[in-house]
Chain A
Amino acid sequence: MYNFDTSVILESIPFLIEGIKITLFISVISSICAFLIGLITVFFRTMGSKPLKFIAVSYVEIIRNTPLLIQLYFIYKSLPAIGLMLPPIGCGILALSLYTGAFISEVLRAGINSVASEQYQASISLGLSKFQTFRLVIFPQAIRIIIPPLGSQFINAIKNSSLVSFISVTDLFYRVYKGAVDDFRFFEFFITGALIYMVLTGTVALLTNIFENQFKIQGRTAKA
């Protein structure tokens, strides 16, 4: 039977907490940036002119169809070649924002498509501009439908943030791995790491549920 030693974990709690802070910092900042990127690109895709639409669609398709690890390496290793020096953590945030932003753009587009097109025609006939239609009519209806998938994108952002450890950011995964290798205690450190990630993502899932109930309009059921 494996000799499970909790003392090595207790000793390295401060070390791991530092990592949780970095993981949270990266995932929160990139989630916010990704949401903004998603909003801008979905506005381009649904209401922009042809070239803007083309740019937005190619951005989303290129990002969605290539691995995050490659994008991370590309930003970390190739941007200095064109004279843009970012610290590793900045590279991580940039890559994760771009990656999550593409997925959020798809989520938002699905939400916007689920709003009936009569609403769009009605607001145009009332004399609202395209941007006003988007902001005042479509978006408030769409946001209620997209809260659950948006929440799962934020959860993915937390999980994907573990990859920044490969560009030398000392996040939670890096510290779990380092602790495991240094003490040769894989089971202890990895189970602790898994539990911490479960708590982090579980919190986001819980918040998503609360928001969903908060924004629910009485007597209306959102389309799946």
Chain B
Amino acid sequence: MKAHLSRRYLFSASHRLHSEAMSSEENQLTYGKCNNPYGHGHNYVIEVTVSGTVDEKTGMVCNLTDLDGFIEREVLARYDHENLNTMQEFAKDVPTTENLCIEIYEIVNRGFRHAHLERVKLEETMMNSFEYAGSGV
């Protein structure tokens, strides 16, 4: 039997939305308050969904300690209490929650081997969330 397992994780980070491809006015017009040069922060929630056959010996899609350990090491340790604009992956791309969601998906998709990654959902606030399930989906 195939089941989907979802797990939520919290981290906090700051960012500023500003595109080098736009003029100051255009940045202000596009990003509004998020263009504040000093930046601002959020409590982000990541919801990772993986899928697979439920192992008859363990009753699990994958061992939660493997998923928690991976996300802690590869995602939370990387982004928690950081300024996203200072990070290599956002040297060119604007650290919108869309782009951050894609980055996190790629990290999990590249490195997590205990179950199939279905999607990553990233909540920026209680009111905004974004989902990515790989290119073409």
A binds B: no
Question: A-contacting residues of B (Cβ < 8 Å)?
Answer: none
